[in-house]
Chain A
């Protein structure tokens, strides 16, 4: 009797490519919505993307009913409540999230309050605690990394209690994700690199951790190939729309992959490092990924070795004996990290971030052991081992 079992779910409609934004009025109309509210942050608004979106919607016959452009870098309950209040005041009937992970997660959570007509967000926290479908939500990522546009999770900071609260439900998934290269063109090189390395980590962890399955493997594999092929050229030519689109697609594919097979120790350590030392999540991923792959090598040699094909191409794959492919994969990840550093200065080690003190490493290791992602890592990790991985990423 087979023991194989997995679940795979992604109902998000992907609208991708040239002038993809222009389809939003039609899509919202098909969902019965005509008064959308835009949720974004100051940086995105400052880059002129809100104005551009409003123009596109206006030409399509859709007037924006309200705009909230004060989402903080870490999503917050206060912001979620403020959005829901403004949503009701302006009699909105749908949401458009425009931005990176924070605006997207915030819009997802605000949709709970707007749809349930309540201010009690925390009572919906946890898994599967939403009773019915929410209002229409369209997501426009302006970074290519988090994959939040295709996931069923939202993580919101509860300032009052000083904790991050997770919400997970299939009803949180957006109705549509719009990947338009115009929306990521203004992304600075270091953020482009950090978010792409976040997506690469999603894909690699999805492919190598315990919940891997054939469906998520396919998405992860394609995501790794796209990032390996297009990241460096985009850093060299930031105005490359085709390359930007490839990275946006890769981030969505990696998001679909990890949403269905979870992530592991890189994220456990990265969440803790980010929370304690206030380092960008993608930077943490980039710094920690090779060290964790080394740690997981014995348990996942075959899977890591298989990633040499999308990462290094057919020539590297055929030129490397099977027994050495896993090592070569990790060497290629390190080389990619070095080449990114040479182009935009993205830190390669914890030391280079300039934000981590060595005496903080034991605290990070302790925090990581309580992170939910660690359950899905293929190798058990104790405190000393987590500390050893951090030490190997130190310099």
Chain B
């Protein structure tokens, strides 16, 4: 029986995986940067981020219209790109911004399987997600450099659009 702390981490990581999936889906429609990055993924490409072994995850698929679709926590078949945290605690450290994404790569906390160029593109999307959705002081902990030129007003505008899009998507699903 996992400890209370590990169960808590599991729920937190599962929730954050959903937020990442929902967020990138919404930003592929609302944010020009992620929209542009998403067009670089091959049509139909399955992109998975998960925790080994069989932990929480999220799966996106690039649609022909350029947007990203959120497919839930498990891929329907072997994904073309899979980013796998080696342990729940590593995923927790990254998703709770105790460890930056580049530091996690440098420390071998995760493995990238599949299209490496797409993996780098996904990392840029994650940086953008953090920069747009999180307060500056927290977002800056997750990346090498907070995006230059992302001013407060632009960020607030994007916040409204992305969170609004996420709410609409959730309501539409329910």
Contacts and interface: CB of A to CB of B under 8 A. Distances in A.
Interface of A: 3, 5-7, 126-129, 166, 209-211, 261-262, 369-372, 374-376, 378-380
Given A128-B113, A370-B120, 19 more contacts: A3-B103, A126-B113, A129-B113, A210-B103, A210-B105, A210-B106, A211-B105, A369-B124, A371-B120, A372-B116, A372-B117, A372-B120, A374-B120, A375-B106, A378-B144, A379-B144, A380-B143, A380-B144, A380-B145
B34 to A, nearest CB: 15
Interface-centre pick from A370, A374, A375 (highest chain B CB count, 10 A):
A375
Contacts of A127: 111-113
Contact of A210 (B102, B119, B145): B102
A211 B105 CA distance: 8
12 contacts: A5-B109, A126-B114, A129-B113, A209-B106, A211-B106, A262-B106, A371-B117, A372-B117, A374-B120, A376-B102, A378-B144, A379-B144
Contacts of A370: 40, 117, 120-121
Nearest to B144: A380
B145 A7 contact: no
Nearest to A6: B107
B64 interface: no
Nearest to A261: B106
A369 B120 contact: yes
A37 to B, nearest CB: 30
B116 A128 contact: no
Interface of B: 40, 99, 102-103, 105-109, 111-114, 116-117, 119-121, 123-124, 143-145
A112 to B, nearest CB: 16
Contacts of B114: 126
A85 to B, nearest CB: 27
Nearest to B110: A127
Q: Which 9 A-B pairs rank lowest in CB-CB distance, beginning with the nearest?
A: A211-B106, A370-B117, A380-B145, A210-B106, A380-B144, A126-B113, A372-B116, A5-B107, A127-B111
A210 B105 CA distance: 9
A207 B113 CA distance: 26
Nearest to A366: B40
Contacts of A209: 106
Nearest to B108: A7
Contacts of B99: 3
Nearest to B116: A372
A126 B114 CA distance: 5
A6 B108 contact: yes
Nearest to B93: A3
A369 B120 CA distance: 8
Contacts of A375: 102, 105-106, 120, 123
Nearest to B81: A126
Contacts of A262: 106
Nearest to B99: A3
B143 A211 contact: no
Contact of A379 (B40, B107, B123, B145): B145
Given A3-B99, A210-B102, A262-B106, A372 B145 contact: no
A274 B113 CA distance: 24
B107 A211 contact: yes
A129 B123 CA distance: 22
A111 B123 CA distance: 33
B89 to A, nearest CB: 11
